[in-house]
Chain A
Amino acid sequence: MAKMRLEMKNREKVKFLTEKNSFILCLLPAFLIIGFIAIYPLGYELYLSFRSYNILRSWYSREWVGLRNYLDILGDPSVWHSLWLTFYFVSAAVGIEFVFGLGIALLFNRHLKGMNIFRTLIVVPMAITPVAVALIWRYLVHDTFGVITYLFEKLGWSFEWYGSGITAMPTVILIDVWQWTPFIFLILLAGLLALPREPVESAKIDGASNFQIFIYITLPLMKPVIVIAILLRLVDALKIFDIIWVLTKGGPAHATEVYNIFIYLQGFRYYNMGYAGALGILLFVGVLAIAVGFIKAIKLEV
Chain B
Amino acid sequence: MKQRPVRARKLMGNILAYIGIAVILTFFLFPLIWEGISSIKSPVEMKNPIPSIIFTPSLENWNYIVERGLFGNLKNTLIISLGSSVVTLMVASLAAYAFTNAEFRGRKGLALDILTLRMLPPAAVVVPIFLIMKTYHLFDTYLGLILIYITFNLPLACWLLIGYFKGIPREIGEAARVDGCSWFNVLWRIIFPLSTPGLTTTFIFCVLFSWSEYLFALVLTGRETQTLPVAAASVMTHFFIDWGGLASTSIFIMVVPIVLTLIVQKHMVRGLSLGALK
Residue interface mask A121-149, B partner, CB < 8 A = 1: 11111111111101111111010110100
B75 close to chain A: CB less than 8 A: no
Which of B97, B148, B230, B233 is close to A135, meaning CB atoms less than 8 Å apart?
B233
Query: Cβ of B261 and Cβ of A283 under 8 Å apart?
Result: no
Residue interface mask B20-55, A partner, CB < 8 A = 1: 110011011101101100100000001101110000
CA distance A132 to B180 in the complex (A): 53
Query: Cβ of A29 and Cβ of B219 under 8 Å apart?
Result: no
B82 close to chain A: CB less than 8 A: no
CA distance A104 to B27 in the complex (A): 12
Residues in B whose Cβ lies below 8 Å from that of A118: 21, 25
Query: Cβ of A238 and Cβ of B261 under 8 Å apart?
Result: no
Stretch at the interface among A33-41, A69-77, A165-173, A213-221: A33-41
Residues in B whose Cβ lies below 8 Å from that of A17: 182-183
Residues in A whose Cβ lies below 8 Å from that of B100: 302
A191 close to chain B: CB less than 8 A: yes
A96 close to chain B: CB less than 8 A: no
Query: Cβ of A19 and Cβ of B215 under 8 Å apart?
Result: no
Within the complex, what minimum Cβ distance (angstroms) separates B120 from chain A? 6
Query: Cβ of A124 and Cβ of B177 under 8 Å apart?
Result: no
Q: Which of B208-224 touch A at CB < 8 Å?
A: 208, 211-212, 214-215, 218-219
Query: Cβ of A239 and Cβ of B35 under 8 Å apart?
Result: no
Within the complex, what minimum Cβ distance (angstroms) separates B70 from chain A? 12
Query: Cβ of B277 and Cβ of A129 under 8 Å apart?
Result: no
Query: Cβ of A110 and Cβ of B17 under 8 Å apart?
Result: yes
Which of B17, B27, B214, B275 is close to A241, meaning CB atoms less than 8 Å apart?
B214
Which chain A residue has the least Cβ–Cβ distance from B119?
Answer: A291
Residues in A whose Cβ lies below 8 Å from that of B98: 22-24, 26-27
B129 close to chain A: CB less than 8 A: yes
Query: Cβ of A147 and Cβ of B34 under 8 Å apart?
Result: yes
Which chain A residue has the least Cβ–Cβ distance from B259?
Answer: A127
Query: Cβ of A145 and Cβ of B47 under 8 Å apart?
Result: yes
Main secondary structure of the interface of B (DSSP, over half): helix
Residues in A whose Cβ lies below 8 Å from that of B253: 129, 131-132
Query: Cβ of A140 and Cβ of B34 under 8 Å apart?
Result: yes
CA distance A92 to B38 in the complex (A): 31
CA distance A127 to B250 in the complex (A): 13
B260 close to chain A: CB less than 8 A: yes
Which of A29, A34, A48, A268 is close to B128, meaning CB atoms less than 8 Å apart?
A48
Query: Cβ of B147 and Cβ of A19 under 8 Å apart?
Result: no
CA distance A17 to B184 in the complex (A): 10
Query: Cβ of A144 and Cβ of B127 under 8 Å apart?
Result: no
Residues in A whose Cβ lies below 8 Å from that of B258: 124, 127-128
A292 close to chain B: CB less than 8 A: yes
CA distance A290 to B115 in the complex (A): 12
Residue interface mask B238-272, A partner, CB < 8 A = 1: 00000100110111011001101110010011001
Which chain B residue has the least Cβ–Cβ distance from A276?
Answer: B127
Residues in A whose Cβ lies below 8 Å from that of B132: 40-41, 44
Query: Cβ of A44 and Cβ of B269 under 8 Å apart?
Result: no
Query: Cβ of B102 and Cβ of A107 under 8 Å apart?
Result: no
Query: Cβ of B232 and Cβ of A132 under 8 Å apart?
Result: yes
Which of B122, B131, B182, B250 is close to A273, meaning CB atoms less than 8 Å apart?
B131
Which chain B residue has the least Cβ–Cβ distance from A30?
Answer: B95
Query: Cβ of B128 and Cβ of A42 under 8 Å apart?
Result: yes
Residues in A whose Cβ lies below 8 Å from that of B111: 302
A294 close to chain B: CB less than 8 A: yes
Stretch at the interface among B1-9, B58-66, B154-162, B192-200: B154-162
Query: Cβ of A23 and Cβ of B102 under 8 Å apart?
Result: yes
Q: Which of B82-132 touch A at CB < 8 Å?
A: 90-92, 94-95, 97-104, 107-108, 110-112, 114-132
Q: Can you report 28 A-B residue pairs in the complex whose CB atoms are below 8 A from each other?
A: A19-B103, A26-B102, A29-B95, A30-B91, A33-B91, A34-B114, A36-B147, A45-B125, A48-B127, A110-B17, A120-B262, A121-B25, A128-B212, A129-B211, A129-B212, A129-B214, A132-B232, A139-B247, A147-B51, A178-B27, A186-B269, A187-B269, A187-B272, A187-B277, A263-B123, A277-B127, A291-B116, A300-B274
| A residues at B contact (CB < 8 Å) | 14, 17-19, 22-27, 29-30, 33-34, 36-38, 40-42, 44-45, 48, 104, 107-108, 110, 112, 118, 120-132, 134-140, 142, 144-145, 147, 150, 178, 181-183, 186-187, 190-191, 225, 228-229, 232, 235, 238-239, 241-242, 245-246, 259-260, 263-264, 267-268, 273, 276-277, 280-281, 283-284, 287-288, 290-292, 294-295, 298-302
Known: A45-B127, A241-B123. 11 other contacts (CB 8 A): A22-B102, A27-B94, A30-B158, A37-B148, A126-B261, A128-B258, A241-B122, A242-B215, A291-B116, A294-B119, A298-B274
